[in-house]
Amino acid sequence: MGPCITARPCLGNCENRAKKRKPPILLVSYSANSCLVRLPAMAPLALFRCLCANHAWQRLIWTVLVLLFTAEAGYAQALFQFKPAWRNSVRTSFQLERNLVVIQARLNGYGPYNFMLDTGVGTSIITDPTLRDSLGLRIGQQYLVAGVGEEAPVVAFQSDSVRVELAEGRIAAAALPMLLLSNDVFDLSAYVGMPIHGILGGDVFRHFVVEIEPESRQLIFRRPDKFKAPTGQKWAHLPIIIEGEKAYVETQARLSDSTEVPLKLVLDTGAGHALSLETGSDARIKLPDQRLRTHLGRGLSGDVHGYLGRVQSLRLGRYQLSALLTSFPDNASVRARVSVPRNGNLGFELLKRFHIIIDYPHNALLLRPNAQFRDPFEHDMCGLDLLATGTNFRNYVVHRVEAGSPAAQANLQPNDEILSINLMPVGNMTLSQISRMLHSADGRQLFLLVRRNGEMIATRLTLKRQI
């Protein structure tokens, strides 16, 4: 789930101030536009009328206005650029792990490091605090950063001068502002099953038209001024709204009671689920009769609990997706962290069924179905969460077992280490491959060998569709 980031600056001596009192939460939108000076609201009109009476001042005012608007429009262009500059597009590969797009980046000449590509985040984040010293990061403003979850905000630091290279150096930003988390609250490496060092967010999408080909695992970054949108009949063209540095799609869903509800959804490539709806955002969005109480995941501010259910259908342009597996997070986990009104988000479990073009510069989302379009939406059929551990993230440990689930009936317990599945050593599998096995088929039997407190235990797990 892409963290809904809000932040408050800690002004002055943060440690001394913290001893006196906790300052109130302040929601701050960190954007490229913040470099521009904002004049007081009432004074400019009278001042402008006075100065415009003088022709010399008139010329100066228009010069300043032109410079300001040029700076505002061109600021984003100065961050990420193609190398060499004459390129119109750059193609590179990515890894798709646990429904997350992972690309490689070099920071300050070091790496490569693995970063999630996430439209659900406005400002890019370094989630691995150990990179601070190895990259020689200069730390500036301290923030308390809050996101989806049930725990307190975490401390982060702003670093304004991170040199970032993507696509083997063919895309570069000389000084990208990033946030450095004080501790790795996401633990993305354990969830994904490979080292993850951070998240690249809206900073990237604001500069390019980004094309994602889930089947071929290819990304194409295109210059906005040279991009021509495809016009084939299979393409759905949806307008997007950019607010608070995130992209929103307006669409409609038919819920379990056949009520059609208009929705405003965050476009969230960093969310592994298909669809998430927030019941507190609209009285018409209600929990379905058939639902499963479960742990939905982890956000920036801790665990997210809620329900899983299905909506009858969701429309995206000319296409309709049916029996859509949908998360309904508890209101306490979400609503306090929302700075822009919305009803939920679209995640990559849904988006990966399309060839995707995300076009922030022209406020457009283009979708064309791929071979996965008609695949059913399935939830984990065993009721356990696995985390990857070890130096190569190929040791798999049970993190959580849902009460009454097939995993509980098979007597699996937290901290059990999975050694083999159907006689195949799991050290030869990725966490994504294991996850697919646990989603594979209702009624399928899996034979597991686990290690518990040094003892080997064999058990049989029968998968069951729970929702």
Q: What is the pLDDT of residues 196-209, one digit of tens each?
A: 999 999 999 999 99
CA distance 178 to 143: 12
Q: Is 170 exposed, middle or buried (0-12, 13-18, 19+ CB in 10 A)?
A: middle
CA distance 297 to 385: 10
Nearest 5°: the CA angle 76, 78, 83 is 120
Instruction: Report residue 277: phi and psi, to 5°.
Output: -125, 140
List the helix and strand counts (H, then E) for the chain.
10, 29
C-beta atoms surrounding 221 within 10 Å: 23
Residue 362 reports pLDDT greater than 70: yes
At 245 the pLDDT is: 86
Q: How confident is the model at residue 334 (pLDDT cuts 50, 70, 90)?
A: low
CA distance 274 to 268: 10
Instruction: Provide the sign of the torsion angle of the four alpha carbons 90, 91, 94, 99, taken in this order.
Output: positive
Compare 323 and 244 and report the one with higher pLDDT: 323
CA distance 135 to 113: 11
At 216 the pLDDT is: 97
Residue 18 reports pLDDT greater than 50: no
At 214 the pLDDT is: 97
Find the DSSP H helices in 110-173. 131-135
Compare 149 and 403 and report the one with higher pLDDT: 403
Q: Which of 141, 155, 182, 151 is nearest to 30 (CA)?
A: 141
At 338 the pLDDT is: 61
At 112 the pLDDT is: 96
pLDDT in tens, 62-119: 333 333 333 333 334 458 999 999 999 999 999 999 999 999 999 999 999 999 999 9
CA distance 341 to 409: 42
443: its two tokens: 């009624």
At 297 the pLDDT is: 78
Q: How confident is the model at residue 44 (pLDDT cuts 50, 70, 90)?
A: very low
Segment 455-464 shows an average pLDDT of: 96
Residue 65: alpha-carbon gap to chain centroid: 36
Least confident of 19-33, 202-216, 310-324: 19-33
Compare 215 and 185 and report the one with higher pLDDT: 215
Q: Any idea what DSSP says for residue 137?
A: P
User: What do you get for the CA distance between the two ends of the chain, in Å?
Assistant: 20
Spell out where 245-318 has E strands: 246-254, 260-267, 275-277, 292-299, 302-316
Which CATH superfamily is 240-351 part of? Acid Proteases (2.40.70.10)
At 49 the pLDDT is: 47
Residues 6+ apart with CB under 8 A from 380: 435, 438, 439, 466
CA distance 401 to 380: 12
Mean pLDDT of the chain: 83
Segment 455-467 shows an average pLDDT of: 94
Residue 131 reports pLDDT greater than 70: yes
CA distance 309 to 113: 36
Q: Which of 218, 259, 222 is nearest to 90 (CA)?
A: 222
Q: Any idea what DSSP says for residue 375?
A: P
- Listed by start position, the domains of the chain span 240-351, 384-462
pLDDT in tens, 237-284: 999 999 988 999 999 999 977 778 999 999 999 999 999 999 989 999
CATH architecture of 384-462: Roll (2.30)
At 33 the pLDDT is: 31
C-beta atoms surrounding 238 within 10 Å: 18
Q: Which of 252, 248, 380, 243 is nearest to 316 (CA)?
A: 252
Residue 281: alpha-carbon gap to chain centroid: 20
Segment 3-18 shows an average pLDDT of: 39
At 415 the pLDDT is: 96
Least confident of 16-20, 189-193, 313-317, 412-416: 16-20
